[in-house]
Amino acid sequence: NAGVTQTPKFQVLKTGQSMTLQCAQDMNHEYMSWYRQDPGMGLRLIHYSVGAGITDQGEVPNGYNVSRSTTEDFPLRLLSAAPSQTSVYFCASSSNRGRIYGYTFGSGTRLTVV
Amino acid sequence: RKEVEQDPGPFNVPEGATVAFNCTYSNSASQSFFWYRQDCRKEPKLLMSVYSSGNEDGRFTAQLNRASQYISLLIRDSKLSDSATYLCVVNKMNNNAGNMLTFGGGTRLMVKP
């Protein structure tokens, strides 16, 4: 089915470990974003990309890196995991008409850092 | 002050009731407006866009007041399946021509039999 695919669905990390959250979409969307969702905080933008080779920081970028080598993939890297990064992470994509049609979200990655 | 504010609820209503949620946004540069629905432990899903003239989709009606920077969602004839968290979302184009969504914290609705 067309959509946004995130892997893994669940992950437990030890403090200081690094890992990459994967995100892929097959809708040829230009825009892709990573959000984190914490209780009482709503979804907050981490990084976003307006196309292959172009990325920029969102509201809460510290501790995360991204790259966009292809239109389809937008991985999020945690450089040195901290307990404060325990959260649910959502990847989202949109066509360049996203301001009208909104975003499509992946099913999320639940990350726990111990 | 949060850029998009919502009453977190919960709103507890009986089946068949009409319920309304409100949302205010602070950035006058916001260009597009949406309501998303999020079920427990699931991803947000687009419920409806919100247009300046107001729009309706079945039992759901959305209104936008740009002057007051206020968005509303009305649900008529509530169903048990409407129980979820409703997220108010605004979209603005940033200087890099990016599409940036800002989410409210969500309003939780619980529809009881």
DSSP secondary structure of A31-54: EEEEEEEETTTEEEEEEEEEETTE
Whether A41 has its CB under 8 Å from any CB of chain B: the answer is: yes
pLDDT-derived band at A68 (thresholds 50, 70, 90) equals very high
Contact B99 A56 (CB under 8 A): no
Contact A43 B87 (CB under 8 A): yes
DSSP secondary structure letters along B25-63: E--TT--EEEEEEE-TTS--EEEEEE-TT-EEETTEEEE
Model confidence over B2-36: pLDDT tens digits? 889 999 999 999 999 999 999 999 988 888 899 99
Best residue of A43, A45, A60 to probe chain B, by most B CBs closer than 10 Å: A43
Nearest to A102 among B34, B102, B104 (CB): B34
The CB-based long-range contact list for A87-90 (8 Å cut-off, 24+ gap) reads A87/A36, A87/A37, A87/A38, A87/A111, A88/A36, A88/A37, A88/A38, A89/A6, A89/A21, A89/A34, A89/A35, A89/A36, A89/A37, A89/A46, A90/A6, A90/A34, A90/A35, A90/A36, A90/A37, A90/A43, A90/B43, A90/B44
Contact A101 B99 (CB under 8 A): no
pLDDT-derived band at B99 (thresholds 50, 70, 90) equals low
Q: Which residues in chain A have Cβ-Cβ distances shorter than 8 Å to B98? A: 31, 48, 50, 56
- Residue range A95-107: mean pLDDT, rounded: 77
Whether A90 has its CB under 8 Å from any CB of chain B: the answer is: yes
Model confidence over A77-87: pLDDT tens digits? 999 999 999 99
Contact A107 B42 (CB under 8 A): yes
Q: Which residue has the higher pLDDT, B52 or B71?
A: B71
Model confidence over A26-50: pLDDT tens digits? 999 988 999 999 987 789 999 999 8
Q: Which residues on neighbouring strands pair with residue B65, listed in sequence order?
A: B70
Chain A: residue whose CA lies nearest to B44: A105
Cβ atoms < 10 Å from Cβ of B27? 12
- Residue A16 phi/psi, 5-degree rounding, is 95, -15
